[in-house]
């Protein structure tokens, strides 16, 4: 649950820091803005995939009941 809630906040903080201070570009990638951009995109995409997996797992753990009997449930 924490990953689902905190992922967008972490992306926002890191992206704002990069926009204002260019921390990734200057300090991590030595001035290579393209590499920093691709790295940030890969991190955001990876955290998004992790969040989707955890969200799907949480949904599948929920109990569920059919509202209609089987043939009517499929038709509806």
User: What is the tens place of the pLDDT at every residue in 5-28?
Assistant: 788 888 889 889 999 999 999 999
Count of alpha carbons within 13 angstroms of residue 55, beta-carbon side: 11
Containing H/E element for 38?
A: helix 33-60
Query: Which pLDDT band holds residue 76 (cuts at 50, 70, 90)?
Result: low
Distance CA 47, CA 50 (A): 5
Which whole number is the average pLDDT over 51-73? 84
Mean pLDDT, the chain, whole residue set: 87
The encoded tokens of residue 39 equal: 């790295």
The predicted pLDDT at position 27 comes to: 92
Which are the contacts of 51, defined by CB distance < 8 A and separation ≥ 6?
3, 4, 7
How far does Cα 58 stand from its chain's mean position?
15
Q: Please give the model's pTM, rounded to 2 decimal places.
A: 0.69
Short-list 63, 52, 59, 57, CA closest to 4: 52
């Amino acid at each position: 649950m924490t990953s689902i809630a905190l992922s967008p906040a972490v992306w926002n903080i890191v992206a704002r820091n990069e926009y204002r201070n260019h921390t990734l570009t200057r300090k991590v990638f030595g001035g290579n803005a393209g590499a920093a951009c691709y790295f940030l995109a890969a991190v955001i995409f990876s955290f998004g995939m992790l969040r989707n997996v955890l969200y799907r797992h949480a949904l599948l753990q929920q109990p569920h009941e059919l509202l209609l009997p089987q043939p009517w449930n499929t038709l509806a």
